[in-house]
Structure 1
């Protein structure tokens, strides 16, 4: 019995179990077709419940000695990167810096007159009850960041202490957990090989984002930074750069393509310059992980 209990509290075992619980919850109460209204509602509920259970289990490790389990101040929430110091900066600075990568797509959306303001999105959510957009922009980023960058990263820190190992471990678990989309593709009529190839590119992008998101959390000390950036990336999606350049050229045969390329280049260089200081909140973060020498 002691051996079994010791095995279950091992950090890596805990991380794998969290992934299984989260994915299983989506299918046990949510079905396979993730985009029907019923499935979206059920998965919001099941994902939130799974997140609550995982968070509760993780909080048990952060409880301060000789304190009541029923008081919030009995837990050291900073160990799962939940803190209120400089919260607004943590939400804004990494997000604005990451947004520089989308300068070209932003310009394309503006030229196509599809550029939504925050008020437009809020109005759409309120009047149309667009649950898919709510899931993609709010619920999924919140739940996934709490589980993967809050709880799982906490347990990885019990096992690893280097920035590289933490980013790699978190991103791998995050990416592998997205392989379940193969089931959805097969259910939609894809052949197994086609489904695997289709999901593989998504998994690779997810792994890259997972490492980036983990880096933001470790440098800023804020889970909120990862949530805000995750929401932005889900909102923008994967830009069709080739298609958008063709559209830009149609709108302006002489300068359209050049302007789009220039915006991509300027955005990328600006991101490289700013993401370092922005992710440490320009020196205000007290995190010592993943700091540059």
Structure 2
């Protein structure tokens, strides 16, 4: 093996290359304005193709000895956290536990729609279902989790063996890969400084979520857990807590703000107690790498 080939198979180099391939694919076939219908369609295609190429490259490392490369059972998919055992629990338990963090926003949404009929909900779903929503809730979480928590985390495990290092490495790469949104802000008319500051908060939140998502995958052994939680967080977005508390106070001047704060506190406390057992599927996961105190 020559030096160039040896360099390319290094785990960290491969992780960086995967990030570059993914970001480049979005812009080479997708343009700068990410929310036009044409751009959304093109980015769904280009992101999916990049994901397929990255996944194919990673699978080459999981192939079992003396097996055909054309058979799916020739690959140890569990090494990239794709498994069918306890799949439903992996989808539900971490997602329901994470949903506790949104108790306040859920209550706010319920109050805004408490007089809705089933027909009203169906009508709202119909008018808000579009390619952007599909991208945000399904395609982006699926593609990003396969790349960052499946493929990149696999290669990080070839280099690191501690939970902290894996969570930090995965979250940093995930966060840095979102700095490309600066280009979109500048294209939209933002000044460079304004664009950087606007994206910085998103990058910090992305880093936190990346670490959390990696922890879920390592504890549950399921990529599906991270995908479901990612979809939930994209669906809810970053809650406007101050604004929602003001609305709660308008609806109920005496108790509205207190109820909202209480729900946030109860939700956060419940999440702290439940996320540990929920992320190991209440003992059904065989992962022992990341233990919580």
Q: Distance in 2 between matches of 1:163 and 1:18?
A: 21
Q: Deviations over 1:125-171 (max 9, x none)?
A: 77775000000000000000000000000000000000000000000
Q: Distance in 1 between matches of 2:7 and 2:32?
A: 32
Report how far residue 117 of structure 1 moved: 11
Quick one: structure 1 residues 84 and 182, their matched pair in 2 at CA, closer, same or farther if it must change by over 3 Å?
same
SS in 1 for 2:186: helix
The match for 1:167 is: 167
Quick one: structure 1 residues 51 and 23, their matched pair in 2 at CA, closer, same or farther if it must change by over 3 Å?
same
Q: Deviations over 1:150-203 (max 9, x none)?
A: 000000000000000000000000000000000000000000000000000000
The match for 1:41 is: 41
Quick one: structure 1 residues 122 and 284, their matched pair in 2 at CA, closer, same or farther if it must change by over 3 Å?
farther
Q: Answer yes or no: is the 8 Å Cα contact 1:146–1:223 preserved in 2.
A: yes
Q: Distance in 2 between matches of 1:250 and 1:54?
A: 51
Runs of 4+ off more than 6 Å:
114-128
Report how far residue 287 of structure 1 moved: 1.0
Q: Distance in 2 between matches of 1:128 and 1:200?
A: 28
Q: Distance in 2 between matches of 1:129 and 1:81?
A: 30
SS in 2 for 1:106: helix
Quick one: structure 1 residues 117 and 130, their matched pair in 2 at CA, closer, same or farther if it must change by over 3 Å?
farther
Quick one: structure 1 residues 96 and 170, their matched pair in 2 at CA, closer, same or farther if it must change by over 3 Å?
same
Q: TM-score, normalised by structure 1?
A: 0.96
Quick one: structure 1 residues 56 and 115, their matched pair in 2 at CA, closer, same or farther if it must change by over 3 Å?
farther
Quick one: structure 1 residues 71 and 275, their matched pair in 2 at CA, closer, same or farther if it must change by over 3 Å?
same
Q: Deviations over 1:48-89 (max 9, x none)?
A: 000000000000000000000000000000000000000000
Q: Deviations over 1:221-271 (max 9, x none)?
A: 000000000000000000000000000000000100000000000000000
Q: TM-score, normalised by structure 2?
A: 0.96
Report how far residue 288 of structure 1 moved: 1.6
Q: Distance in 1 between matches of 2:120 and 2:157?
A: 40
The match for 1:32 is: 32
Quick one: structure 1 residues 83 and 7, their matched pair in 2 at CA, closer, same or farther if it must change by over 3 Å?
same
Q: Answer yes or no: is the 8 Å Cα contact 1:250–1:256 preserved in 2.
A: yes
Quick one: structure 1 residues 60 and 179, their matched pair in 2 at CA, closer, same or farther if it must change by over 3 Å?
same
SS in 2 for 1:179: coil
Structure 2, unpaired ranges of 5+: none
Q: Distance in 2 between matches of 1:269 and 1:76?
A: 38
The count of aligned residue pairs is 293
SS in 1 for 2:179: helix
Q: Distance in 1 between matches of 2:53 and 2:120?
A: 34
Q: Answer yes or no: is the 8 Å Cα contact 1:167–1:210 preserved in 2.
A: yes
Quick one: structure 1 residues 116 and 220, their matched pair in 2 at CA, closer, same or farther if it must change by over 3 Å?
farther
Report how far residue 291 of structure 1 moved: 2.1
Q: Cα RMSD over matched residues?
A: 2.0
Report how far residue 93 of structure 1 moved: 0.2
Quick one: structure 1 residues 83 and 211, their matched pair in 2 at CA, closer, same or farther if it must change by over 3 Å?
same
Which stretch shows the higher mean deviation, 206-215 or 125-134? 125-134
